[in-house]
Amino acid sequence: MALRSRLPEVRAVVVAFGGVAVWLWLFTRLHNALGKDPASAFAHARTLRAVERTLHVDVEPAANQWLTGHPDLIQPAVIYYRSYYVVVFGVLVWTYLRHSEVFRRMRRALVAMTILVLPVFWALPMAPPRLVLPGVVDIVAEYDPLWGPATRDPNDDHNHFSAMPSLHVAWSLWCAYAVWSALRVRRPRWALLAWLFPVLMIVVVVTTANHYVLDVVGSFVLVTCSVGVAWRWGRVVDR
C-alpha cells in the first residue's frame, strides 16, 4: 500500500526528468554529428581571430600563457572545466524539490537552449584556440588523465569544432540564472553569489584555450534568447 500511495510521486519525477534526459541524449547525438568539416571550422576560426584583433580582445594566447605559468592552478582549472555536468544536474534536482515554478521555467530554457544552438553548430563549425593558435598549451588534453587525450582525437565520435558558442559558459549561465531566480527575493546576497560560477567558467575556458572571447559573447546571446523563448513558451502553456 505504501508503494502504491507513492506511485503518483514517482510518476511525477519520471515525467519531470525523463523527457529532459531523453532530449539531452538526443541532443548529444545530434551535436556530435553536426558541423564536423575541418576546413570550414579552421576558416571560421581564422575569421573570428581577425575580428578579435580588430576589437583588441584577442587575449587567448596571453591568458593561456598565464595559466601555464601558475601550475598549481592547472588541475583545479581542469576539474572546474569538467564540473558543469554535476552542477547542472544538482540545480535541476534542487529547483524541482524546492522551487517548482523555477524548475519548470528553467527546464524550458534548457530545452530551448539546446534546440537553438544546433543550427549554429551546423552552420558555423569553429575550431577552438587549442587547435588553431600556435604556442598555446592544450591544458585539458595535457592534464586530464581520463578524458584529456580524447579531446584531440579526430576519429572519435565527439564534435571538436563546436567552439561557438561555448556551451560550458552557456550551461554555467543557465545554472546561475536558475539559482538567482529562486533566491533573489528571499536571499538576494546568496542569489548574487551564483554568478561566480559562470565568471570562473569564463576564465577557465579562455585560459585553457578551449574558447575564444567571442565564444563567450555568443553564450550570453544564446542564454538570453533561450530564456526569452522559455518565457514565451510558458505564456502559451498557461493559456
Separation between Cα atoms, residue 168 and residue 101, nearest integer Å: 25
Residue in 190, 131, 125 with CA at minimum distance from that of residue 163: 125
Residue in 162, 168, 163, 180 with CA at minimum distance from that of residue 227: 180
The structure's pTM equals 0.89
Question: Which grid coordinates belong to 96?
Answer: 524541482
Indicate the domain borders of the chain: 2-238
pLDDT of residue 4: 52
pLDDT of residue 180: 96
Below-70 pLDDT ranges, the chain: 1-10, 145-157
Separation between Cα atoms, residue 136 and residue 146, nearest integer Å: 21
Q: Which residue has the cell 527546464?
A: 107
Question: Which grid coordinates belong to 154?
Answer: 579526430
User: Measured in whole angstroms, how far is the alpha carbon of residue 157 from the centre of its chain?
Assistant: 19
Q: Which residue has the cell 522559455?
A: 230
HSE of 197, CA atoms in CB hemisphere, 13 A: 26
Question: Which grid coordinates belong to 8?
Answer: 503518483
Residue in 78, 44, 66, 48 with CA at minimum distance from that of residue 168: 78
pLDDT of residue 19: 82
pLDDT of residue 177: 97
